[in-house]
């Protein structure tokens, strides 16, 4: 199950807010213990927590300082952002599992924070995947569709372990 520094979201549900944007809610767990309820705000306000968020402040700081957070967002990173990113990772894990069930071995994903694109492959060698013309064409296509400040990076998932992030 997707996690960041031992933090997981269980009973994840998604629904539309007042403007039609998808938001999420669920139960936050840390190192195997349920902390409480969490929800993104229906009216675009701050997230709602049914537990003391300071319990996770050290994990948020470690995550914010890691390579998983772009330099321009490091100072802004808080628990709201970490959990939002965790929701995205959980969605990518679902997509990866669907591909594996269909016989694929890897899932490659790219996002600029708004747009998301991905593809499956039978390869598990990351250097081989990155060297293929199809992958280069995929990245070029993303550059045309994504926001101009997209860094060109892709995430390559080859195992369920890839969804368990520890920094």
Instruction: Specify the number of domains making up the chain.
Output: 1
Per residue in 60-99, pLDDT (tens digit) is: 999 999 999 988 889 999 999 999 999 999 999 999 999 9
Span 18-32, mean pLDDT? Answer: 92
User: 3-state DSSP helix/strand/coil percent for the chain, to nearest 5?
Assistant: 35, 30, 35
Pairing of strands 155-157, 33-39: unpaired
And the tokens for 107?
């899932």
Span 125-134, mean pLDDT? Answer: 96
Which DSSP symbol is given to 41?
-
Q: Outline where the chain has alpha helix (H).
A: 57-64, 79-101, 126-131, 133-145
Q: In the structure, what pLDDT confidence band is assigned to residue 47 with cuts at 50, 70 and 90?
A: very high
Residue 74: what pLDDT?
A: 92
Mean pLDDT score of the chain: 94
Residue 42: what pLDDT?
A: 83
C-alpha angle 90-21-53 in degrees, rounded to nearest 5: 55
Structural domain that includes position 17: 3-165
Distance CA 77, CA 70 (A): 10
Question: Is residue 55 predicted with pLDDT exceeding 90?
Answer: yes
Per residue in 109-127, pLDDT (tens digit) is: 999 888 899 999 999 999 9
Sheet holding 33-39, edge to edge: 48-49, 33-39, 22-30, 7-16, 3-4, 164-165
Contacts 24+ apart (CB under 8 A), 19-27: 19/44, 24/84, 24/87
The pTM of the full predicted model, rounded to 2 decimals, is: 0.90
Residue 161: what pLDDT?
A: 97
Residue 13: what pLDDT?
A: 95
């Amino acid at each position: 199950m997707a996690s960041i520094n031992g933090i997981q979201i269980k009973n994840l549900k998604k629904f539309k807010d007042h403007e039609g944007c998808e938001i999420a809610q669920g139960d936050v767990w840390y190192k195997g213990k349920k902390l409480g309820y969490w929800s993104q705000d229906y009216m675009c306000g701050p997230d709602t927590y049914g537990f003391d968020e300071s319990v996770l402040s050290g994990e948020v700081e470690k995550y914010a300082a890691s390579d998983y957070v772009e330099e321009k967002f490091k100072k802004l990173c808080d628990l709201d952002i970490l959990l939002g990113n965790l929701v995205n990772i959980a969605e990518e894990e679902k997509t990866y599992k669907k591909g594996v069930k269909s016989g694929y071995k890897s899932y490659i994903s790219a996002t600029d924070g708004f747009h998301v694109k991905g593809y499956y492959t039978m390869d598990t060698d990351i250097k081989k995947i990155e060297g293929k013309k199809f992958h280069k064409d995929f990245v070029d296509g993303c550059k045309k569709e994504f926001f101009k400040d997209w860094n060109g990076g892709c995430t390559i998932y080859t195992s369920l372990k890839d969804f368990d992030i520890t920094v």
